Amino acid sequence: MRHAKNEVKHCFLCALPEPGFDNAAVKKAIHEYPDLLKGFAYLDLDRAETIDKLRSDGFLGIKLIAPLKPYDWEGYFPLYEKIEEKKMPILFHTGIVARSV
């Protein structure tokens, strides 16, 4: 049996609120390898950075995880609207959050 050659076109990195995996680390990586890597910025909905800055830093989307209120809280809607204006998809983390020691 002959196997087709797999070629990676793009890899998406999602930043997290942890040193080494934060927006600065992902931004550095996507600027080092712009033809391969695309990035989603971590956004703390309760202390949000400006969406304009994240977009201008090269992030194509937003990663959300563990906000203080439910994702459908109306107070978050202005941020969602701004993200939508920038045509950035949002990855809503809704599963179990496992933390290592």
Give pLDDT tens digits for 70-94.
Answer: 999 999 999 999 999 999 999 999 8
What is the reported pLDDT for 41?
A: 96
The DSSP symbol for 63 reads E
Q: Is residue 99 part of a domain?
A: no
Beta bridge partners of 11: 37
83 located within any domain: yes
List, for residues 14-61, the tens digit of each pLDDT value: 999 888 899 999 999 999 999 999 999 999 999 877 899 999 999 999
- Range of 39's domain? 11-92
Position 98 in a domain: no
Is residue 5 a part of any domain in this protein? no
Check: CB of residue 90 under 8 Å from CB of residue 64.
yes
Q: What is the pTM assigned to this prediction? A: 0.82
